C-alpha cells in the first residue's frame, strides 16, 4: 500500500476577456477496490457556479459556469490517496468494453501485428494481454507531438510512435481483437509532469491495470481519475466560452509518496 499526495493544476490564459465560460473537469479520483480517497479539495478561479455529476461510465466530474468576464481560468485539484491494494477493481458489465470504437478500430497494421503474435491458448485474459503489451513495447516508440486526442490506434501503429494515449489505445485494439474486454484509463503517476494513460483488462471477474507505455502492471504509484471506451471518453478538461479569444493552456501534475 502507498499513500500518495497529488496536485493537478490547469491554467488557461486568454488574449482577451471571455464570458459565459462553461466547463467540465473529469478530475475527481474515485474510491475503488484499488484506491481509497483520504482527502480531496478543488479550487476554481474565478469564483464560479459549480456542481458535480456522473457520466455513463460511472466517472464523477465537476461542471460549472464562470459568467463574469475574465482573462485567466485556473482549476486546481489536490488530495491524498491510499493506493495499491493489489485487488482487481470490480465494476460494470464488461461487454461494453469488448466493442471497438472509431479510435480503436483495427486497420491493416493492427491486423498484421495481431496475426504475428501467439498469445497462449487457454491462458487467462491477463496473461494474454501481457503478451500483447510486450509486443507493443517492442513496436512503438514514445514520441511526443506526433498525435493528438483525435488520433486512432491504427495511426500510431502505422507510424510506430505516439504517447501514452496511443500505447493505451493500441492495447485496447489488440485485446478486443483477442476477445478480452479492455478499457482506457486516465490518471496520474508518481513524479512531476503531466497526466498519464493506461489500460484495464477484464480477467477472472475483475479489472487489472496494465501500463503499455512502460510495459508493467499498474501498482501503488498510480492514481486513477476516470475510464472509458477510449481517450475521447476521458478528456479531463472540456469548456466553451463566449468571445473570439485565443487560449494558452498549461497543465502541471505532482504526485509524491507521503
User: Using only C-alpha atoms, what is the Rg of the chain?
Assistant: 19
For 13-50, write each residue's pLDDT tens digit. Answer: 999 999 999 999 999 999 999 999 999 999 999 988 99
Report DSSP state, residue 131.
H
Q: Compute the C-alpha angle 102/56/61, nearest 5°.
A: 105
What's the whole-number average pLDDT of the chain?
94
* pLDDT at res. 85: 75
- Dihedral sign for Cα atoms in the order 121, 123, 126, 127: negative
Most confident of 92-101, 113-122, 177-186: 177-186
Which residue in 60, 75, 86, 78 sits closest to 4, CA to CA?
78
Second CATH level (architecture) for the domain 2-84+236-257: Sandwich (2.60)
Full-model pTM? 0.94
CATH 3.10.620.30 placement within the chain: 94-234
For 151-189, write each residue's pLDDT tens digit. Answer: 999 999 999 999 999 999 999 999 999 999 999 999 999
Q: Is the pLDDT of residue 122 over 80?
A: no
* pLDDT at res. 87: 80
Give the C-alpha separation, 44 to 48, whole Å.
Answer: 7
CATH for 94-234 is 3.10.620.30
Give the C-alpha separation, 114 to 173, whole Å.
Answer: 10
pLDDT above 90 coverage of the chain, percent: 88
| DSSP state letters, 136-190 | HHHH-EE-TTS--TT--HHHHHHHTEE-HHHHHHHHHHHHHHTT--EEEEEEEES
Q: Is 115 helix (H, G, I), strand (E, B) or coil?
A: helix
CATH 2.60.40.2250 placement within the chain: 2-84+236-257
Q: Is the pLDDT of residue 235 over 90?
A: yes
Amino acid at each position: 500500500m502507498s499513500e500518495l499526495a497529488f496536485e493537478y493544476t490547469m491554467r488557461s490564459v486568454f488574449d482577451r476577456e471571455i464570458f459565459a465560460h462553461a466547463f467540465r473537469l473529469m478530475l475527481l479520483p474515485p474510491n475503488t477496490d484499488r484506491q481509497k480517497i483520504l482527502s480531496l479539495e478543488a479550487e476554481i478561479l474565478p469564483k464560479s457556479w459549480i456542481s458535480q455529476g456522473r457520466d455513463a461510465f460511472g466517472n464523477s466530474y465537476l461542471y460549472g459556469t464562470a459568467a463574469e468576464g475574465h482573462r485567466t481560468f485556473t482549476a486546481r485539484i489536490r488530495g491524498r490517496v491510499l493506493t495499491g491494494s493489489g485487488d482487481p477493481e470490480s465494476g460494470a458489465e464488461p461487454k461494453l468494453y469488448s466493442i471497438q470504437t472509431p479510435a480503436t478500430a483495427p486497420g491493416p497494421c493492427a491486423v498484421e501485428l495481431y496475426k504475428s503474435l501467439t498469445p497462449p491458448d487457454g491462458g487467462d485474459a491477463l496473461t494474454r494481454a501481457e503478451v500483447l503489451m510486450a509486443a507493443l513495447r517492442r513496436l512503438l516508440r514514445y514520441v511526443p507531438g506526433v498525435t493528438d486526442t483525435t488520433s486512432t490506434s491504427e495511426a500510431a501503429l502505422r507510424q510506430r510512435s505516439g504517447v501514452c494515449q496511443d500505447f493505451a489505445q493500441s492495447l485496447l485494439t489488440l485485446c478486443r481483437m483477442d476477445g478480452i474486454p479492455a478499457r482506457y484509463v486516465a490518471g496520474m503517476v508518481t513524479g512531476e509532469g503531466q497526466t498519464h494513460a493506461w489500460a484495464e483488462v477484464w480477467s477472472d471477474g475483475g479489472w487489472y491495470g496494465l501500463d503499455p507505455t512502460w510495459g508493467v502492471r499498474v501498482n501503488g504509484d498510480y492514481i486513477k481519475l476516470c475510464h472509458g471506451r477510449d481517450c475521447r471518453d476521458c478528456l479531463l478538461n472540456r469548456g466553451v466560452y463566449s468571445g473570439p479569444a485565443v487560449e494558452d493552456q498549461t497543465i502541471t501534475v505532482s504526485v509524491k509518496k507521503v
